[in-house]
Structure 1
Amino acid sequence: MSELYHNRILELAANIPHVGTLEGAEASVLKVSRVCGSTVNVEIRLDESGDHVAAIAVDPKACALGQASTAILAEYVLGAHVDEVVAARDALKAMLKDKGPPPEGRFWELRHLQAVADYPPRHTSTLLAFEAAVAAIQQARAARGLAPVEAPQG
């Protein structure tokens, strides 16, 4: 298990930005792991167009892996196009469940979680923050009458 909880994972888990609540949040989504009881709440506000993340607040009550994933989301999501967040969630899921390559681009630090692929009971808590963020984006866009964000085809 030491490959799971290496120094960078612990650093990320200890330094999560944007923790708390978000004044003027357009959406708030709580995701819970039925496996371990970890939770992550994500509050989002989109920009005027509804296409980019303007603000975020996170509240993780999760293991170090869930906290590290939340830290990466919170650190890099501001200004991200909503498609980037969906693509990162999908790439993270593929990395964990199908041994796919780690996400690239803005969320490149998710590569530090690659060893989690060998521990299926840890997949859900690692995915919580990105699942909550995508759900919050969809909720905020729906409230504005905008089309849902679709997963990229490929």
Structure 2
Amino acid sequence: MMSDTDLIKLYSGQILALAADIPLTTRLAEPDVTVKRRSPLCGSTVTVDIELDDTGRIAAFGQDVKACALGQAAASVVGSAIIGCTLSEVETARDQLKAMLKSDGPAPDAPFDGLKVLLPAKDYKNRHASIMLALDATLEAMCQVQASASCQ
């Protein structure tokens, strides 16, 4: 059980501000693909719609986020940075976020460097899946569109 001090540390004002202002929450009318990811531990879900341009970059993005404040904050950072990203950039961000949470890695590179606000969550393994949802769903969607063999 988390103490009150732990909760205050984890749910900082910055995290709560991000969670309260998630960009790109309008679902796309005709996306190239839609992917819904769910965290089995807490039940958080993120559904993303994407459209890619001819170069494989994200041209349009919509998301429906039903997650804890940490998952919402992560989705907020992703929504702010995702337009124009390539599969490689999303995959790198996902891998860097995972390393930050699980292996004491540094915060993800720009444009996803805002995810550093979630660094205090590394000590709460039960929150990691919710934090990863937005990037996991986006990467899965991009892989479906591009049918890339490099996707895992």
- TM-score, structure 1 normalization: 0.91
User: What aligned pairs does 1:111-130 form with structure 2 within 5 A after superposition?
Assistant: 111-130=116-135
- Which residue of 1 is the match for residue 52 of structure 2? 46
- Which residue of 1 is the match for residue 3 of structure 2? none
Q: 1:116: how far off? A: 0.7
Q: Is the 8 A contact 1:82 1:149 kept in 2?
A: no
- Which residue of 2 is the match for residue 8 of structure 1? 14
Ranges in structure 2 where 5+ consecutive residues have no aligned partner: 1-6
User: What aligned pairs does 1:41-120 form with structure 2 within 5 A after superposition?
Assistant: 41-50=47-56, 52-120=57-125
Question: RMSD between aligned alpha carbons?
Answer: 1.2
Q: What amino acid is the match of 1:80? A: C
- Which residue of 2 is the match for residue 28 of structure 1? 34
Q: Is the 8 A contact 1:86 1:149 kept in 2?
A: no
Q: Percentage identity across aligned positions?
A: 42
Please say which of residues 52-61 and 19-28 is displaced more in the overlay: 19-28
- TM-score, structure 2 normalization: 0.92
Q: Is the 8 A contact 2:45 2:65 kept in 1?
A: yes
- Which residue of 1 is the match for residue 4 of structure 2? none
Q: What amino acid is the match of 1:21? A: R
Ranges in structure 1 where 5+ consecutive residues have no aligned partner: none
User: What aligned pairs does 1:123-138 form with structure 2 within 5 A after superposition?
Assistant: 123-138=128-143
Counterparts of 1:23 and 1:72, CA distance in 2 = 23
